[in-house]
Copies of this chain bind each other. A is one copy, B any other.
Amino acid sequence: MSTMLTIAETAKWLKSNNNYLILTHRRPDGDTVGCAGALAQGLREIGKTAYVLKNPEITPRYATYIDAYIAPDDYKADQVIIVDTASTALFPKNGDAYFNAISLCIDHHASNKFYAEYICLDSVAASCGEVLYELLLELVGSISPICAGCLYVAVSTDTGCFSFANTTANTLRVASLVVAAGAPHVKLNRKLFRTKTRERVKIESLIYAGMTFHFDGKVAIASISNDMMDEAGASEDDVDDIASIPGAIKGVLAGITIRELTSPKDCKVSVRTSPTVDANAIAAHFGGGGHAMASGFTCDKPIADTKEAIVEVLREFFPEESQQTSK
């Protein structure tokens, strides 16, 4: 069980120690990477030694924000910190050695498992970047342009450029303050939110072309086969957040995305719903689960059969609607 620290107590602890190693979570996103970069930079600004553990799953999209802080192989840390990581199950693939060695966890997940010695947690924050902002202000006294850029990456990516439902007034307040502090938000927005790869465009086009609508347009089903991925030349980076596509169509209450796995006889299914439809209950029919508006399951059938099975189950959720299918 961790000891909870306030922002002020966390800053005091950081000031009274030295030689930090900072960890990011598995499949690192903008929030964990931005926070790690900002914290390493902030600690260096007050004269501390601080490095970030290289994450074997880092992608080019985010590597640039921590490249300058990657720990050399022979680095010996006195204190290990992890950011934006709710449980040890989410530790990076090379993080096993740190399971019982985390001095401080800085996080915003209500589900945090309190595995670290100390924890600085704000479970209302939309992003860990919002926690880091307050912490760096306390620790350093001001936010440098480099910290501001990292924090902008953190808060903006975790909220879909402030468009996701988790965005709060405080998210926007912190974004405003880091932009004022010199975050290059125009360049970052263009890179993070306003640019698609040609492969992404191609796979989206194929997905749209094959999408079907059911139950008076209340259900949209998208399929992604390995052939489609090959045809588009798409990588995993190119299909980031692709499960949100069918659910973002006007009138759709349940957006289903069927992704063929390595074996063409197995599929992974993502379910995204509006508040009136229980995504968890849909997934439960197939032995899966998740949240009320986002769930998932796997199905040991080819895409076409998986789709048929899902439509069959959905009849229970949309009993009133005519059951025609359209493209």
| Interface residues, chain A, with chain B CB atoms under 8 Å away | 160-165, 167-173, 175-177, 179-180, 185-186, 189-190, 193-198, 201-202, 204-205, 208-209, 211, 213, 217, 248-251
Contacts and interface: CB of A to CB of B under 8 A. Distances in A.
Copies of this polypeptide in the complex? 2
Given A173-B176, A209-B209, A198 B250 contact: yes
B177 A198 contact: no
A170 B172 CA distance: 10
A211 B201 contact: yes
Contacts of A193: 163
B249 A198 contact: yes
Nearest to A211: B201
Nearest to A244: B194
6 nearest CB pairs, A to B: A172-B176, A205-B208, A169-B180, A173-B176, A169-B179, A163-B189
A100 B198 CA distance: 50
A241 to B, nearest CB: 11
Nearest to A177: B169
14 contacts: A163-B194, A165-B189, A168-B179, A169-B179, A169-B180, A170-B176, A172-B172, A172-B175, A172-B179, A195-B248, A196-B248, A198-B251, A204-B205, A204-B208
B163 A197 contact: no
Task: Give the residue among A179, A193, A201 with the most B Cβ atoms within 10 A.
Answer: A201
A304 B67 CA distance: 46
B195 A249 contact: yes
Contacts of A169: 176-177, 179-180
Contacts of A249: 195-198, 201
A167 to B, nearest CB: 7
Nearest to A165: B186
Contact of A201 (B168, B190, B195, B208): B208
A50 to B, nearest CB: 28
Contacts of A211: 201
A195 B162 contact: no
Contacts of A250: 195-198
Contacts of A217: 198
A213 B186 CA distance: 25
